[in-house]
Structure 1
């Protein structure tokens, strides 16, 4: 019989701005069979996520360039990455908030490294079981290409093409096409910049709210017909953006 291939080591991303915590913890986890990469801040976290996939993240709540609760929510939405939060604040409100935002577990500093190992293994088992159930569920047939009609325009999502009677078709960039499709799926709804980031960002991307502003400006120019681009794609100051049009889906 062929030899059984050993299972790959679980890939853990440890994010903590305190080196005296981060480095010894990484060493301990490696001794217990984990493949570990570390980051000192949110910027380092996103950079590592662009380079490789991880099975679970251990994330400090207090980082110099980001709130761990918000980062946890973004990781949950963009990557479906399991997260264990680390915090020095042991309050019920903090624990509930973290779990509500998608955290899979919660550890209060100081903690025993062996407890973290046990919780990592528990989170990984739950996540693997969830993925196995998802694969076992029959998938629906692939949907036909979506076409949207709004304010005299037609948008084909599969080709990211805008067309209108009497005008040459306009091809949008991938980012512009994703943004427009999100807006078309939520007509007459105010969407904040952060909500648009979450709905349009791919797993390996790190889109900023300023990038959303630039994409909206470009979309507005391409949708500008008879000077009504700004009325169609409105800026709601302090709130976000809104597509002011009825939308029909073919």
Structure 2
């Protein structure tokens, strides 16, 4: 069996004890780990290496973890796993709006950290080092889907716009698009959408889904200011107004 290189993870936290704990546990699970304690060391780490995932503490003392998340989302194609304080609801919501893939509140259990790290890597299309994936047989791949001039490949997490250009979607954006495609022409409440894309409980006044829909509309609508593909259903939520069609060939 061909050996597979360990996934590289950047652990960002201003608490040296937490960094050490995360590094030891992740390395014990077979990952390669680099530590960083602020924005400057994060930039230096990315200048020196490629990372498959970043664990990011949002409370970095004088540093703002949200600013780092914003910078990573803008400049790096890397999944972000946020670590937040129990009461940091607003920061958590903003972080998810910026494209973070998952979060966990402190104090955390290290086994849950490891499980969530594997889940984020798997959802982002990156395989864990121990997984052996057989080549797909005939007809095993999902077909290309056509939707109002767009092309979507669910199993490869690809969206091609009407000009033939591949769109840059976060994992959260694509999960939302997949939820709409699976429930085309069916109105979905905000709670139902949250359950479909994350399977987590959310506060009643949480507006994260509205922001995610607004961001997705910018990628799929012909005129995001007048959305016709993903429409608001007053008092309910949202609906994808057209059903995707499988493309031939």
TM-score by length of 1: 0.50
- 1:32 lines up with 2:55 in the alignment: no
Post-superposition CA distance 1:1-58 (Å, at most 9, x none):
xxx2122111100011111111121011100111100011111111000000000000
Distance 1:44 1:94, change over 3 A: same
Aligned to 1:90: 87
Find the partner of 1:42 among 39, 43, 53: 39
* Alpha-carbon offset, residue 131 of structure 1: 10
Q: Is the Cα–Cα contact under 8 Å of residues 58 and 91 in structure 2 kept in the other structure?
A: no
Q: Is the Cα–Cα contact under 8 Å of residues 66 and 91 in structure 2 kept in the other structure?
A: no
- 1:133 lines up with 2:156 in the alignment: yes
Matched pairs, number: 139
Gaps of 5+ in 2: 127-152, 166-249
- 1:66 lines up with 2:89 in the alignment: no
Matches of 1:128 and 1:113, distance apart in 2: 23
**Structure of larger gyration radius:** 1
* Alpha-carbon offset, residue 134 of structure 1: 4.9
Post-superposition CA distance 1:64-88 (Å, at most 9, x none):
4521112112111211211011122
* Alpha-carbon offset, residue 136 of structure 1: 9.6
Aligned to 2:221: none
The structure in which a higher percent of residues are helix is 1
Post-superposition CA distance 1:133-155 (Å, at most 9, x none):
157979948xxxxxxxxxxxxxx
Find the partner of 2:72 among 72, 75, 97: 75
Q: CA RMSD in A?
A: 2.7
TM-score by length of 2: 0.50
Matches of 2:11 and 2:36, distance apart in 1: 6
Aligned to 1:11: 8
Distance 1:61 1:125, change over 3 A: same
